[in-house]
Every structure is written in structure tokens, then in C-alpha cells.
Structure 1
Amino acid sequence: MTALHNGLENDRKDDALPALALKDKVALVVGVANEHSIATGCAQAFRLAGADVALTYATEKAKPFVMPVADAIGAALLLPMDVDVEGEMEAVFAAIAKRWGRLDILVHSIAYCPAGDLHGRVTDCSRAGFAQAMDISVHSLIRMARLAEPLMVQGGSILTMTYYGGEKVIDHYNIMGPVKAALEGTMRSLAVELGPKRIRVNAISPGPLNTRAGSGIAHFDELIDAARLRAPEQTLVTIEDVGHMAVMLSSDNARCVSGDTAYVDGGFHVRA
């Protein structure tokens, strides 16, 4: 067992993570970029809760940063998935079907917008930039849900990651605000359509975290400072906090929770 995994066990052993709450479940986590990713927090928590975990990496260049996470948690599969590359997503779900014959949990934690559009006004967003942001950040969830549906033979849990900027206008979040709003609307529609098959679809809305994705947002340090000062708990959340929420929403104890956005932000979203 690696030092990272040992440290995780030691640090979290007294926390409220339900022991083996996900025993015998199979989880696919999409969006790990490195050990600091929100998706990493989910993958670590799933393993500690007893699930078998499959991870993906976006490109060969990204693989060396994802592999240590896969090794640390003992991921059963580590597969390439660039949602822009035809066939890669289908290959991942085919590999899961071949190994386990089913899927219980899917975490969609990917988003992208070209820098020129991300850092500019919504008013000035290019057609191509908007289309790419929506395709990678939102339509990829639809595509994954469609592939997951036949594998979730006993029902399941689909989670996506949003942000408060999809509900209210947050300075410097720019076009990603409308994109996250679309993601949340898509989540609710999927929850309704997949509900009869006992497939639950929810979103997790973390406060700002120091991740590689977050650092791409202009004035991100200001978002971090505002979250720390304005949140009732006056603290920042961690990827482990998000992982705990992911376990809870994916467990059978949350079998009646669907179409919801779960905030993990120290209460920041309740402030006017």
C-alpha cells in the first residue's frame, strides 16, 4: 500500500465516512488530472468506502499525473478518455462491461473553455468557444449517461460537478456561469428520464478549491479569499470533503435523492 493511501487512511479514519458504504459497487471516475483534483477526492473516498474504481486520463501527456492516483488507490482500470476523440468514451464503457458486467456509480468531473473565451466577457464569447465549452462540459455528461444506462442494471448514481457561478453571477467566472447553469438543467432532466430505472442523477457544488482547473480562472485568488471570508464556517473545503459527499450521494442511504444540487462550500451559497 502506498504512502499516499496510508496517509489518507490515517488522516480520515476518524471522520464520518461510512465504513464500506459502497462495498461491492463499481465506480467510474472521469476527470482526475492530478492528486489535487476534485475527482481524486471522489476516487479516494470511493475506495475507502469499499468500491472498485476505474479511472480515466485525458491524454498521454496527462497520464503520468493520473497514474500515481490510480496506483495509490488501487484502481482496477486506468483508461484513456478524451471526450473529443471518437470512440474513446465507448471503449471505456466497453472495458467496464467486460470486467464487471455492470456499473453502479459514474462521476463526471470535466469542464473546458478556450482561454480567450474563459477570460473575456460573456457578451464577447465566440460561437466556437461557446460550442466547445458546452460540448465538453455539458454534452459529455449526456453521452456518458447514455452509455452508463444499460450497465446500471440494478440502478445507480451519476454525479456531476458544478459551481455556485451557475446559479448567481460570480465575478470573473464569465462564460462558465452559463455553462454550469446548462449542466445543472441537464442533470435535472437526466434525473427525471433515468429515474424509472432507479438511476439517480445529482450535482455537487463545491466552493472554490486550489485545483489546476480552478487556477485557470482569472483572479482565482480573489474567489478563494471571498469564499473563506464569506462562508459561515470561514474555511475552505477540501477534495476530501467533496469525496465524502460523493460517497453519501452514491450510497443506498441516499436512494431517494435525485435531481438535487448538494453544496459543499461551508455555507457560502446562503449568503446574500
Structure 2
Amino acid sequence: MGLFTGKKGLIVGVANGNSIAWGIAQKIMEEGGECGFTHLPDREDDARKKNRRRVSQLTDNFEQAKFLVPLDVQSDENIAEVIKTAESELGKIDFLLHSVAFASLDDLRVPTVECSREGFKMAMDISAYSLIALTNAARPILNEGASVCAMTYFGGEKAVPGYNMMGVCKAALDSIVKYLSFDMGEYNVRVNAISAGPLKTLASSAVGAKEMLDLYAAVSPLNRNITMEEVSNAGAFLLSSLAGGITGEIMHVDAGYNIMGSPGRMATEYKKMQDQLGDK
């Protein structure tokens, strides 16, 4: 009997096999949970349905994956359709994972001060407001004791050059997690977020996570980067009954990077290098 035996929920945001959402979903299904999945809508002219195919290649291997449907989080009608499908296929649900973020490259790859008005609105709508919309739509089918979990990043707490507009969105998302935790507490539903360190995912490639890997390994107390398994374990924990007393939290899974007030050991290594150059 697994941790999620008899539990059912909705996973929003799997793009491919490297997605954090997929790592968490796998952990849940391995522990006996049943999941419904969404994928990015495919363009009408895309006969190959690439977005659906990327996710179906994963979910088709699991009996516990009960459905896969497209979701445009900017459409309240589509959100309602997905929740209706979840109720039809799963009944009441015990967890909802939100792993959705997007900003156009034109607005992401420029200094935040140059972000366009339309780009700001779209990024906020998809990356932040969608958590409100999904939680509100799912409210009637969430069991007492259910858990909602979102994915955030340290760039919402501190300025991280290169993260730019997405950092503003994550700051909004972090605040939304706290306010929703109060609102949903009335229904005995918890709302939390995971703040993961850099991993090689499709989403992270757009914001320069690859360049951050060496920095995190050098600065973090554990002197290394995190693994997908570590983030997946943390996500599954927050969505499980083991985290029953936790809500409104931003759980950092970043090898401790967020606690550092200085470059730590990296500063020591830099000084050694300077001393060596001075000796020469």
C-alpha cells in the first residue's frame, strides 16, 4: 500500500519527460495515486499534435494515468471543461499540481524595464493568475484535506539577472499561494509551492538555468546541484497527507542556496585564485 493509494488528482503542466511536473506525477503514481493530465493545446495546422504526443508517450505507460486533455489556462471555459472531465473520470480529487509559466521571448530576453504592456499581461495571466483560476474552478471537487501545489523560483524573492519578467510573475505567484492558503483553509485545503533550484527542463532553458548550475553548485551549502528526484519527492510530500499541517509555505529545494548571504566557499576559492595570481 503506497502513500497515494486511493488518492486522485490533476496534474497541470507536463511538457515532456524532463518536466518537474512529470517527475512529481511519476512519484505519485508509483505510490498508488491516480492522475489526470493536461497538455498544451496543439495548433489546428499541426497534424502531428506534437504537444499531445510528447505527453501521451509518457502517460500511456501508466495505468494510473486516467486521461489526457488539452488546456489553455487563459480560457475559463477550457478550465471548466478540464475540471468537468476530472470529476467525470476521477470523482472528487485529493491534489492539484500547477506547473505553468510562460512569457514571450521578446519580453523575457530584455531588461524588465523594457517589457511590453501586452507581454506583462500575458505573462502574469498564464504564470500567476492561472493558479487562482484553476484552484477556484477545482474547489467544488476538492476533497477535505486536499492539497494544491505550485512551482516557483527564487527569482520571485530576489532579483536574478536574466530571469527578468518571470521573476515578477513568480513574486506574484508566491503571494497568491499565501492568500489562497487562507481562502482555501476554510475548506480544509492546503496551498503551497516548491521553489526548486535550476534543473535542465524545457522551461528553464529559456531563462538561462544552464548558466546557473555552476553558480549554485559553488555557492550552496551542499556544494552541488539538486536532482529531479529530490524535487519530485518534495512535491509528492506537499501533495500528500504527510504534509497535513503545512500550508502557505514556499519550500526551497535548492541545496540551501537561498539561505546564503554571501558567495560562501566560492569567495574563498576566488581569494585563493587571486593570491596565486599575485604570487606569480
TM-score relative to the length of structure 1: 0.90
If you compute each CA radius of gyration, which structure gives the higher value, 1 or 2? 2
8 Å CA contact 1:34–1:65 kept in 2: the answer is yes
**Deviation for aligned residue 1:167:** 0.4
**Deviation for aligned residue 1:239:** 2.3
Q: Which amino acid aligns with 1:238?
A: T
Matched, 1:140 2:130: yes
**Deviation for aligned residue 1:97:** 0.8
Listed one character per residue, the Cα deviations across residues 18-77 of structure 1 (whole Å, up to 9, x for unaligned) are x61111111211110000001111110110121101111112331111111112333111
**Deviation for aligned residue 1:99:** 2.0
Which segment is superposed worse, 44-53 or 64-73?
A: 64-73
Aligned counterparts of 2:83 and 2:209: Cα–Cα separation in 1: 35
Secondary structure of the residue that 1:64 maps to in structure 2?
helix
8 Å CA contact 2:74–2:130 kept in 1: the answer is no
Which segment is superposed worse, 142-151 or 67-76?
A: 67-76
Aligned counterparts of 2:224 and 2:7: Cα–Cα separation in 1: 32
8 Å CA contact 1:40–1:239 kept in 2: the answer is no
Which segment is superposed worse, 238-247 or 164-173?
A: 238-247
Q: Find the counterpart in structure 2 of residue 92 from structure 1.
A: 82
Q: Gaps spanning 5+ residues in structure 1: where?
A: 1-18
8 Å CA contact 2:14–2:55 kept in 1: the answer is yes
> Which of 232, 242, 259 matches 1:243?
232
**Aligned residue runs from structure 1 range 168-183, under 5 A:** 168-183=158-173
Which segment is superposed worse, 67-76 or 35-44?
A: 67-76
**Aligned residue runs from structure 1 range 21-170, under 5 A:** 21-60=3-42, 61-74=50-63, 75-85=65-75, 87-170=77-160
Listed one character per residue, the Cα deviations across residues 235-266 of structure 1 (whole Å, up to 9, x for unaligned) are 22222211111121122121110000111111
Listed one character per residue, the Cα deviations across residues 79-105 of structure 1 (whole Å, up to 9, x for unaligned) are 111213452211111011112220110
- Over the aligned positions, Cα root-mean-square deviation in angstroms equals 1.3
Aligned counterparts of 1:47 and 1:254: Cα–Cα separation in 2: 18
Q: Which amino acid aligns with 2:240?
A: S
Listed one character per residue, the Cα deviations across residues 104-136 of structure 1 (whole Å, up to 9, x for unaligned) are 100000100010110111111111000000000
TM-score relative to the length of structure 2: 0.87
**Deviation for aligned residue 1:227:** 1.3
Aligned counterparts of 2:219 and 2:202: Cα–Cα separation in 1: 23
Q: Gaps spanning 5+ residues in structure 2: where?
A: 43-49, 262-280
8 Å CA contact 1:22–1:247 kept in 2: the answer is no
Q: How many residue pairs are counted as aligned between the two chains?
A: 253
Aligned counterparts of 2:22 and 2:237: Cα–Cα separation in 1: 16
> Which of 238, 246, 253 matches 1:264?
253
Percentage of matched positions with identical amino acids = 36
Q: Find the counterpart in structure 1 of residue 211 from structure 2.
A: 222
8 Å CA contact 1:191–1:200 kept in 2: the answer is yes
